Amino acid sequence: MYETNYHRASSVDEAAALFAKGKEAKYLAGGHTLIPVMKQRLAGPSDVIDLARIKELVGIEVAGDTVTVKAATPHYDVAASDAVRKAIPALSSLASQIGDPAVRHRGTIGGSLANNDPAADYPAAAMALGATIKTNKRSIAADDFFKGLFSTALQDGEIITAVSFPVPAKAGYAKFPHPASRFALTGVFVAKAKSGDVRVAVTGASQSGVMRSAAIEAALKANWAASAVDGVSVSSSGLLSDIHGSSDYRANLIKVMAQRAVTAAG
């Protein structure tokens, strides 16, 4: 790891000010993406600004039809929250499938969304549920937030403060995990909003990160049943192809995971 300067911020404003002062600063939340990358010397921030102890960034609120998870809330807290399990069981289940217990104790929702790993789980939930990503500057709809591999609408120095998920009528998540890392080889989040709108988000499969599947959305809108996905043809163009699976394999996984997600949603 290159040398760096560690700072612990106690408020969002202080974090933003420390960021502005640093030459090449980076925020640090759970560190379970950033620290491995720094250890490989693929990143060498002059300053790391720890957000994890900022009180206003940690916690979960369920009010009416909205579940709000503050940015520095660890995956474990989301998975363990009774309120989340009651309001959006699929979100709770998704959080419980990230990595392993030690990863879930540290990794945060804000870090996961800011990083936008093409195989991460939370982007699929944010996209399918039509979440709103709140920052210290504005609110961004999930549809406008994800901009391809490891890239988002966040501006330099902008801090995610919370993510708001509308409570759906039904939702389910199914992932085929990579057996070693637990990241999604392909994961599908299906959601039927209270308005009847259906959104299906796929992670792990596309070369350009999390994406929606219009074909599966149309099929499920017509008939919310796992069997409705049988006849859908999912194109393998633009899908990842690597030692873990070809693009055709992933295209098939999208259908299978979508069906399992619908079954889980009930």
Partner 1 sequence: MSTVKLTVNGKAVSVDVEDRTLLVQLLRDHLNLTGTHVGCDTSQCGACTVHIDGKAVKSCTVLAGQADGSSITTIEGLAKGDELHPMQAAFRDNHGLQCGFCTPGMIMSAVDIVKRHGGQLDEATVRHELEGNICRCTGYHNIVKSVLDAAGRMKVAQAAE
Ligand X SMILES: Cc1cc2nc3c(=O)[nH]c(=O)nc-3n(C[C@H](O)[C@H](O)[C@H](O)COP(=O)(O)OP(=O)(O)OC[C@H]3O[C@@H](n4cnc5c(N)ncnc54)[C@H](O)[C@@H]3O)c2cc1C
Of 41 and 266, nearer to partner 1 (C-beta) is 41
**In Å, how far from its chain's centre is CA 252?**
22
SS (H, E, C) 174-219: EEEECCCCCCEEEEEEEEECCCCCEEEEEECCECCCCEECHHHHHH
When CB distances are held under 5 to 8 angstroms depending on the partner's kind, the choice from partner 1, ligand X, none that residue 5 binds is partner 1
* Residue reference for tokens 């969304």: 113
When CB distances are held under 5 to 8 angstroms depending on the partner's kind, the choice from ligand X, partner 1, none that residue 160 binds is ligand X
Among 89, 99, 148, 166, binds ligand X (CB under 6 A): 99
When CB distances are held under 5 to 8 angstroms depending on the partner's kind, the choice from ligand X, partner 1, none that residue 1 binds is partner 1
Among 159, 198, 251, 258, binds ligand X (CB under 6 A): 159
CB of 49 to partner 1, least distance (A): 11
Among 17, 58, 80, 103, binds ligand X (CB under 6 A): 103
When CB distances are held under 5 to 8 angstroms depending on the partner's kind, the choice from ligand X, partner 1, none that residue 242 binds is none
When CB distances are held under 5 to 8 angstroms depending on the partner's kind, the choice from partner 1, ligand X, none that residue 102 binds is partner 1
**3-class secondary-structure state, position 58:** coil
Sign of CA dihedral 33, 127, 159, 104: negative
In this structure, the number of other CB atoms found within 10 A of the CB of residue 182 comes to: 15
What DSSP state is assigned to residue 74? B
Interface pattern 53-72 for ligand X (x via CB under 6 A) = ------------------x-
Distances (CA, A) of 118 to 63, 88, 121, 221, 239: 30, 23, 9, 26, 11
Greatest Cα pair distance in the chain: 56
* 99 binds partner 1, rule: CB under 8 A: yes
**Residue 59: left (phi > 0), alpha (psi -120 to 50), or beta?**
left
* 8 binds partner 1, rule: CB under 8 A: yes
Interface positions with partner 1 (CB under 8 A): 1-6, 8, 28, 31-32, 35-36, 38-39, 48, 50, 52, 76, 99-103, 105-106, 180-182
